Structure 1
Amino acid sequence: MELISSAERNRLFERFHHDAFHLELRDDYSVPDENGPFQRWMAGEETDHSHLASWLRLVRRSTVRGMTVRRVRVVTEPLTPYIQWEHAVTTANQGAGENIRWLPRQLMPADTALPCDGHDWWLFDDRLLAVGHFDPEGRTLGSQIIEDTAIVAQCARLRDQLWTLAVPHTEYAP
C-alpha cells in the first residue's frame, strides 16, 4: 500500500470543489508539533493555537472560496485529556470556517459498519478518500488514496448518517 505524506494530503485541498469531510475515530493523536501546546494546556496555561496556524490558513483558503470543510469527531466519554484539549481549541477551527461536530461513541448505531478498516479518513467531493494510517504509538504514517466508487459511496453514506447524529461544537458540552 502506498501512502502519501500529510503535506501531500493537504495539497488535496487545492483540488476539491465543494466539500471536504473528515471522520475522526481516535481518542488520541500523537502529533509531535502539538506536544508543547498540549502540555501547556494540561499545566493549566492559556489555550495556545500556534500549532494550528498552517491548518487554519489552509481551511480559510478553502472556505473563502465557498467550499465546506467539516468533520465529525467520534469520541469516547468520558473524554481523554487529548480530546478535552481538542475541544478547547476547536473554536480556532471554527473561526477559519471549519464546521465540527461531536458524536459520543455510545450514540453510534450498533450496526454501524466502519469502512476502511475503521481508520480515519478525508472524503473530498464524494469522489476521493485519503485514509489515515498510524503506527502502534498513534503517530501518523501517511494517507492512502482510494478512488474506488463503492468504497467512496459507503463513506459518503456513513458521513451523512453520522453528520445528522453528531452534535454541533457549540452545543456539545463534554
Structure 2
Amino acid sequence: MKLIQGEEFVDLFRAGAWKRAFHLETQDEYLIADEHEPFRKFLAGEPDDYEWCRSWDTLINEVTSTGKQVHRVRLVSIPHVDYTRFGLTIAPLNIQAGEEIKWLPRPLIDSTELAGDDYWLFDDRLVVFVTFKEDGDFGGFAVTEDPVIAAHCVAIRDKVWGLGVPHADYVESDFAAAK
C-alpha cells in the first residue's frame, strides 16, 4: 500500500480515467479538526456559512459535471448521535454539488458483512482507505490496487448501496425521526 496525503488524494479525483467513486463511512462520529468549530456551532444552534466545506463541494461539482459519479453510504446507529444529525444538515450541500448519498441504519445489515474501515473505491479497482490518528483526527490515506482487496470492497459496496436509503427518503423515514 502507498500512503498519500492532501493534494495527492484530490489528484485522484481530478485524474481523468475513472467513472465512479464510492465512499463508505463506517463510524458514527468523526473528530476531524476542520469540523470542530462547525460542529460546535451546530450543537449550539448557531448559523454556519459552510465555508469550511466549500472546497470539497467545488471539487465534487468539478468532477461530476464531467459525467463522473460520486456515491456515498453513511452507516449510522439508531437513534442518531449528534454527529449524524450534523451530517444530515451538510448532506444537501454535498448532494447539490453532485454526490449521491444514502444512509444505512445499522439494524439493516449484519456488521460481519462490512469492512471495518472507511474507504473510497474508484472504478472497482483502486481502493483508498481513510486512516485516522489515535485521537480520532484524520490521518491520511492508504492506497492499493490489490485485486483481492478491491473485489472485497466492491462486494461490500454493492451490498450497502443496495440496502442504503437515499437521502431524500431517509430524512422522511422513521429512522431519521427516531430519538
TM-score by length of structure 1 reads 0.92
Alignment of 1:69-80 (within 5 A): 69-80=70-81
Does 2:118 correspond to 1:101?
A: no
Match of 1:124 among 122, 125, 129: 122
CA contact (8 A) 1:6 1:142 kept: yes
For 1:141 and 1:110, how far apart are their aligned partners in 2? 24
For 1:113 and 1:164, how far apart are their aligned partners in 2? 13
Cα deviation code 1:50-100 (max 9, x no counterpart): 111100011001100000001000011111111110111110000001000
For 1:103 and 1:61, how far apart are their aligned partners in 2? 27
Partner of 1:143: 141
- Percent identity for Structure 1 against Structure 2: 40
For 2:111 and 2:37, how far apart are their aligned partners in 1? 37
1:2 deviates by 4.6
Partner of 1:3: 3
For 1:111 and 1:77, how far apart are their aligned partners in 2? 18
CA contact (8 A) 2:73 2:104 kept: yes
Decide whether aligned partners of structure 1 residues 106 and 62 sit closer, same or farther in structure 2, where only a CA change above 3 A counts: same
Cα deviation code 1:110-141 (max 9, x no counterpart): 54142xxx110000111101101112221111
For 1:19 and 1:155, how far apart are their aligned partners in 2? 14
What secondary structure is seen at the aligned counterpart in 2 of 1:69? strand
Partner of 1:86: 87
1:6 deviates by 3.2
Runs of 4+ in 1 over 6 A off after TM superposition: none
For 2:59 and 2:117, how far apart are their aligned partners in 1? 23
CA contact (8 A) 1:47 1:89 kept: no
> Structure 2: any 5+ residue segments left out of the alignment?
none
CA contact (8 A) 1:17 1:67 kept: yes
Partner of 1:22: 23
Letter of the 1:9 counterpart: F
What secondary structure is seen at the aligned counterpart in 2 of 1:74? strand
User: Larger deviation: 119-128 or 4-13?
Assistant: 4-13
What secondary structure is seen at the aligned counterpart in 1 of 2:31? coil
Partner of 2:58: 57
For 1:111 and 1:3, how far apart are their aligned partners in 2? 27
For 1:104 and 1:146, how far apart are their aligned partners in 2? 28
Partner of 2:157: 159
CA contact (8 A) 2:2 2:144 kept: no
